Amino acid sequence: MNHLPQAWGRPRDDVYGPYDSSYLQSNQSHGPTQHTQSPVVTGTSVIALKFKDGVVIAADNLASYGSLARFTDVKRLRKFAGTSIVGFGGDVSDMQYLDRLLNSLDIEEAYSTAGHTLNAKNLHTFLSKVLYKRRTDFNPLWNQVLVAGLDDDSKPFLASADLLGTTFSAPSLATGFGAHLAQPLLRKVAGDEEAAAKLTKEQAIEAVKESMKVLFYRDARSLDKYSIAVITKDGIELKEDEKLENQSWAFADQIRGYGTQIN
Amino acid sequence: MFRNNYDNDSVTFSPQGRIFQVEYASEAVKQGSVVVGIVSKTHAVLVALKRNAEELSSYQKKVIAIDEHLGLSLAGLASDARVLSNFMKQQSLSSRLTYGRAIPIERLVSAIGDRAQTNTQHYGKRPYGVGLLVAGVDETGPHLFEFQPSGMTQEMVACAIGARSQMARTYLERNLDAFASCGREELVKHGLRALKESLAQDKELTVENCSVGVVGIKGEGMKSIEGFKLFDGQEVQVWVDMVADGAEAEGESMEVDA
């Protein structure tokens, strides 16, 4: 099991053995053109959960440089057209590229003709095509994104797209480490669409906040400062400077080198 | 032979500020057989009069379905209309593939408007010799647009282009207030009556020379639509009979000039 963005899209070393790159010349002027083969500055998990009127999505505000917590105020939830949120995991510079792309798309849409907007479903389709095109060019955008908003029927919409162009949809979704740790917790709250359709906004927010806390306990590339957004028909409530509350490190009491060590 | 020196290409203005090539292209539209379009709150219909070049030939296609949610009818050079409609089909498909969304009608019409305009601004190109009526539905409801070879496009409540279309337009202007609340059947009937006005003396509407295109919404927005459907031949029999001479005499009061 390896959740790190550096391992995304690669054959598993434990199954196939390490990649034999001996045939490649170390000199870049020989051999095939190489694009980004690993991300540099990365964001960790994004988690999201549907409820009866909308979607809750959250991501922490950290951009790591390897294992160094390099930037602690990076907003990884981006608004689109005031109706959708895109949450980015993976490479931060690729996130910034996609953000610029989405902004120009938004402006283009708003300028051309009135009354037409791209909803979250349209946005997800678009993003998945961009990601797939780039991986087909052997120049992938090293991200996994969650798109949250409403679909054609104004029902809650949540879907993911990754650097390979793979798409996936479920009542709860999580990227990166969150896919291992937060997803089971969210599934306990909303295992299927029926269960999600019964959740209230407060229950959904509570479940997401609780999952963010667990992620901070166990994910060494995470931060206790995070952004959270609630998307409903009425619009988006985006809070970008939240702090994890009621942390309890009691479980780590006897473990050295874990959590915040006092002595 | 030449009317003047300013009509050899479509990039030169005459001293009066006219571009003759564009005006000649509009003449091609006026030579085409008449097409009528009307839009209501729920539907948009296209009604067209088809011509056959000779007794033994088939009738020229006048209504083309572009996508599930829109279609067009043409007056003028059918081959130019094919170029434009193929482009429109590509654009519609591209919108569905990249966004999973039916392309907004206004945007598609602007796209062909832009294309037609560039033809009037580049040396060696010629304007399209065709006028179009584009009918469709999107999340803002049913729409009808008119397209001219100059690149001009505008949204219409009702419109008729082609040979003798002035008569049809007069009918449409006279009944303008009724259209908004019309149902699908009523709208088609209005279209056929307008078409009938434009008919030459010795001609009448038949199942052979009539084409009808219908598109509409069933509920709010794009949730459920009645996709664009083209009616031809026997499928228009009922409508043609309904507006035939004499059929409307009883019940409705016939309009008689004072």
Looking up residue A184, the CATH number of its domain turns out to be 3.60.20.10
Whether residue B149 contacts residue B25, with contact meaning beta carbons closer than 8 Å, is answered with yes
* pLDDT of the residue at A181: 96
Q: How far is A178 from chain B (nearest CA, A)?
A: 28
For chain A, the domain total comes to 1
- Angle, helices A201-218 vs A177-189, to 10°: value is 150
Single-letter code of the amino acid located at B175: N
Q: Is the pLDDT of residue B191 over 70?
A: yes
Give the integer Cα–Cα distance in Å for A57 and A78: 11
Give the integer Cα–Cα distance in Å for A102 and B99: 13
* pLDDT of the residue at B243: 94
Give the integer Cα–Cα distance in Å for B234 and B236: 5
In-domain check, residue A75? yes
Whether residue A10 contacts residue A164, with contact meaning beta carbons closer than 8 Å, is answered with no
Whether residue B212 contacts residue B63, with contact meaning beta carbons closer than 8 Å, is answered with yes
pLDDT in tens, A199-218: 999 999 999 999 999 999 99
Interface test with A, best of B93, B95, B101 (most A CBs within 10 A): B101
* pLDDT of the residue at B96: 97
Q: Which residue has the higher pLDDT, B247 or B146?
A: B146
Q: Which residues have a Cβ under 8 Å from the Cβ of B79 and sit 6 or more positions away?
A: none
Domain that holds residue A220: 41-243
Reported as a pLDDT band with limits 50, 70 and 90, residue A262 is low
Reported as a pLDDT band with limits 50, 70 and 90, residue A113 is confident
B41 at the A interface (CB within 8 A)? no
- List the single residue in B98, B104, B223 with the smallest CB-CB distance to A125: B98
Whether residue B105 contacts residue B136, with contact meaning beta carbons closer than 8 Å, is answered with yes
Percent of chain A with pLDDT over 70: 93
Tokens for B190, please give them.
């209005």
Q: Is the pLDDT of residue A143 over 70?
A: yes
In-domain check, residue A261? no
How many Å is the maximal CA-CA distance in chain A?
A: 63
Single-letter code of the amino acid located at A139: N
**Distances in Å between the alpha carbon of B31 and those of A189, B63, B77, B145?**
68, 17, 9, 20
Do the chains contact at B106 and A152, CB–CB below 8 Å? Answer: no
Give the integer Cα–Cα distance in Å for B91 and B105: 11
* pLDDT of the residue at B1: 55
- Sign of the C-alpha dihedral, residues A116, A122, A127, A132? negative
Give the integer Cα–Cα distance in Å for A52 and B177: 44
- List the single residue in B104, B107, B222 with the smallest CB-CB distance to A152: B222
Whether residue A229 contacts residue A85, with contact meaning beta carbons closer than 8 Å, is answered with yes
Q: Which residues have a Cβ under 8 Å from the Cβ of A52 and sit 6 or more positions away?
A: A156, A196, A197, A198, A199, A200, A201
Identify the CA nearest to A63 among candidates A39, A44, A78: A44
Do the chains contact at B101 and A118, CB–CB below 8 Å? Answer: yes
* pLDDT of the residue at B107: 96
Do the chains contact at A153 and B139, CB–CB below 8 Å? Answer: no
**Distances in Å between the alpha carbon of B225 and those of A120, A202, B44, B69, B158?**
21, 36, 12, 8, 21
Q: What is the mean pLDDT of residues B46-56?
A: 94
Do the chains contact at B138 and A116, CB–CB below 8 Å? Answer: yes
Least confident of B29-38, B178-187, B218-227: B218-227
Q: What is the mean pLDDT of residues A175-182?
A: 96
Q: How far is A77 from chain B (nearest CA, A)?
A: 21
Can you list the alpha helix ranges (DSSP code H) found in A22-173?
92-112, 120-136
Do the chains contact at A113 and B110, CB–CB below 8 Å? Answer: yes
In-domain check, residue A179? yes
Beta bridge mates, B45: B38, B214
In-domain check, residue A252? no
pLDDT in tens, B64-77: 999 999 999 999 99
- Chain B, nearest residue to A131 by Cα: B98
In-domain check, residue A263? no
In-domain check, residue A138? yes
- Sign of the C-alpha dihedral, residues A194, A197, A200, A204? positive
pLDDT in tens, A41-100: 999 999 999 999 999 999 999 999 999 999 999 999 999 999 999 999 999 999 999 999
Other CB atoms within a 10 A radius of the CB of residue B209 amount to 20
Q: Which residues have a Cβ under 8 Å from the Cβ of A178 and sit 6 or more positions away?
A: A44, A45, A46, A47, A211, A215, A219
Report pTM: 0.87
User: Across the beta sheet with B141-147, what order do the strands follow?
Assistant: B63-67, B70-76, B130-138, B141-147, B153-155
Q: What is the mean pLDDT of residues B46-54?
A: 95
Percent of chain B with pLDDT over 70: 94
Reported as a pLDDT band with limits 50, 70 and 90, residue B247 is confident
Q: What is the mean pLDDT of residues A164-181?
A: 97
The tally of CA atoms less than 13 A away on the side-chain side of residue A50 is: 26
The tally of CA atoms less than 13 A away on the side-chain side of residue A100 is: 5
Q: How far is B47 from chain A (nearest CA, A)?
A: 27
Identify the CA nearest to B50 among candidates B32, B26, B29: B32
Task: Tell me what the pLDDT averaged over chain B comes to.
Answer: 93
Is residue A232 annotated as a catalytic residue, yes or no?
A: no
User: Across the beta sheet with B210-217, what order do the strands follow?
Assistant: B158-161, B35-39, B43-49, B210-217, B225-232
| Residues of chain B contacting residue A115, judged by C-beta atoms under 8 Å apart | 104, 139-140
pLDDT in tens, B201-228: 889 999 999 999 999 999 776 678 999 9
In-domain check, residue A2? no
* pLDDT of the residue at B190: 97
Single-letter code of the amino acid located at B195: L
In-domain check, residue A22? no
Give the integer Cα–Cα distance in Å for B143 and B132: 14
Do the chains contact at B100 and A116, CB–CB below 8 Å? Answer: no
Q: Is the pLDDT of residue B134 over 80?
A: yes
Other CB atoms within a 10 A radius of the CB of residue A66 amount to 11
Single-letter code of the amino acid located at B155: E
Give the integer Cα–Cα distance in Å for B233 and B253: 29
